Structure 1
């Protein structure tokens, strides 16, 4: 007979012991030598089991703060009312889609709702392949796009340390003007955006000789795990044109940077100018304040291609 699990609070040592026994060792803790046991969050603060307060500077999901009253109320109301998959009609899903697209350029008008940023990027890759009928992807070095298999394959941040780069993935230098291949100091009189974009162009020019064609260029609009890297002016403008000329589509990964996190705009790709418009935008963490809500927004043309060329899509 299974042992009875009580609800009494565990000591920190007991929590560590049970975690070591039942949680996969790949799921590593912050502060491994003396891990924090966090039991509560309020606003910008976290609290441990002793009541000590910590300013939360490393949590990347609580967009409007921990335990935000409006988020708690909205979540509680919805859970008390309905929880089902998206193949039924409901006002909330269309109202949310309408609100989302109102923050984006007009051609980005079709939404798919998913459960995580990783799943959003997986779907973006499927959309790109269905639309272009090509397979290959170009990504930035140090990029992180998620932990499902396809997203791991798109993430040098992961496979550079442990793994193998797939033949259909092509890595270009991070457009870092401070420590990258081209810097303000090493090339003071150059258009650094174009210099870095030309690295993408060179890959695109090489692919046909290898019997390959690009499906998508994936980039976080502001690289997050790779070091909070702001791309130089004109970078995305040039890259998006090169990729489209080669028959691919452009994916802006806004999972960690979207929903106003850059301060002046809703989406980080907008920092590159009004004429820089991706074909697919993925979003996640801040969308549900850390709860499992995310989305992919794309064009009517790409959505139609996906409908024609891929299996029916639904999400719970």
Structure 2
């Protein structure tokens, strides 16, 4: 995923202890890891939408969807601790945890999605989905959007162009343009999919699946107009493939007006992959699917995952669903998200550097522009100015100019206003 605010190696504004820790980190972890911000953050505690650094300074976290119901939510941490103190094992033993969690999770989805299989990360969920699809269809071709992110295993890194050109991508993976918010984007997306399928077939490859994040997060966040996915879903099925909805980022009430991102488009996916917010930071993920898709795979290949669906993971997942329901977080995402989006749109009328503002629920994108063109330098300035002043966001998109705002679902209206004010101050300082 594009991160325009990655640490560039300068330690000018860091205290000696953090400089030493960065040096140790680079020595121990190697060169592939990245740190956020020009001045990396060193948090030591979290609660709700807040993080505290080692010096006791508080930061409004408007980026971390992993802790979707808030940092260290007591109901979730207590559920994890209680089950960890009792039993943790794998799914080859009989246990109520994975069964009850699967039943409850499937109850949030269309009836056609009758099975769920558990994994540990979103990458692993997408990897398993690919295995099942390619085994069941006998086909290899996968179509993704041009800046998609679907994970980091060898198989799904092929489906993640946002990781960079160094990731090899063979003829069995084709990319198409992401939506851009235009009124005809449903027809355009289907037309681009038609072209990709034709190009695939010229190479002797049959399309197995079209997979997308249903709000197109890494492409720059394009959730509207609701319903535009339907023509592409109809097309891939007509051509003998299936539709996989990657709900790692839009799922679990994030969009406010629906529990799942695909529900905003009125479609029923053949498969749904999930991760990140499922356990509020505890590693749990999964794949829900039409039962017929996994029948042959289940008979001939079976499935085993040492940690996927373990009792502690399922306790975390159940607790997250408890909190979303008990605290009305889907409605909170809808109302506070609307307040945030409207406030940023109003801010855009006063700042030339703000272009389009779009979003769904508590997932909002702000284009930073100069004379109508993407302005990556402004986006980087805003992200780092906000970090220095106690508010955390990130940036994404093909032009590295799109502010990515994705706070925990417990954000209140007053905290949303703090976020709007921080963006205004950063724009004024730019």
TM-score (norm 2): 0.65
Structure 2 match to 1:26: 32
Other-structure match for 2:46:
41
What is the root-mean-square deviation of aligned Cα atoms in Å?
A: 1.6
Alpha-carbon offset, residue 208 of structure 1: 2.9
2:57 corresponds to 1:52? yes
User: Alignment partner for residue 300 of structure 1, among 279, 291, 298?
Assistant: 291
Q: C-alpha distance in 2, partners of 1:140/1:235?
A: 15
Within 5 Å, which residues of 2 pair with 1:243-258?
A: 243-258=236-251
Farther off after superposition, 116-125 or 238-247 = 238-247
After TM superposition, give the deviation of residue 209 of structure 1 in Å: 3.2
Work out the CA distance in 1 between the residues paired with 2:224 and 2:268.
Answer: 15
Aligned to 2:220: 227
Q: Check if 1:280 corresponds to 2:271.
A: yes
Q: Across the two proteins, how many residue pairs are aligned to each other?
A: 291
Name 2:115's counterpart in structure 1. 110
Which among 135, 141, 147 is matched to residue 146 of structure 2?
141
Q: Look up the SS of the partner of 1:259 in the other structure.
A: coil
Measure the CA separation in 1 of the matches of 2:120 and 2:167.
Answer: 26
TM-score normalized by the length of structure 1: 0.88
> Is the CA contact (8 Å cut-off) linking 1:46 and 1:55 kept in structure 2?
yes
- Quick one: which of 74, 77, 83 aligns to 2:82? 77
Secondary structure of the residue aligned to 2:229 is helix
Q: Which residue matches 1:313?
A: 303
1:166 aligns with 2:170: yes
Matches within 5 A, 1:114-263: 114-160=119-165, 162-177=166-181, 183-184=182-183, 191-263=184-256
1:156–1:231 Cα change, 3 Å:
farther
Instruction: Could you tell me which runs of 5 or more consecutive residues in structure 1 were left unpaired when the two chains were aligned.
Output: 1-9, 178-182, 185-190
2:19 to 5, 8, 13: 13
Residues 136-188 of structure 1, C-alpha deviation per residue, up to 9 Å, x if partnerless?
A: 1000111000111111100111134x3332211010110112xxxxx35xxxx
The answer to whether the 8 Å contact 2:161/2:167 transfers is no
Deviation of 1:236 after TM superposition, in Å, equals 1.8
Residue 233 of structure 1: CA displacement? Answer: 4.4
Report what 2:263 is aligned to: 270
* Distance in 1, Cα, partners of 2:22 & 2:138: 49
Give the deviation of 1:231 after TM superposition. 4.9
After TM superposition, give the deviation of residue 242 of structure 1 in Å: 1.0
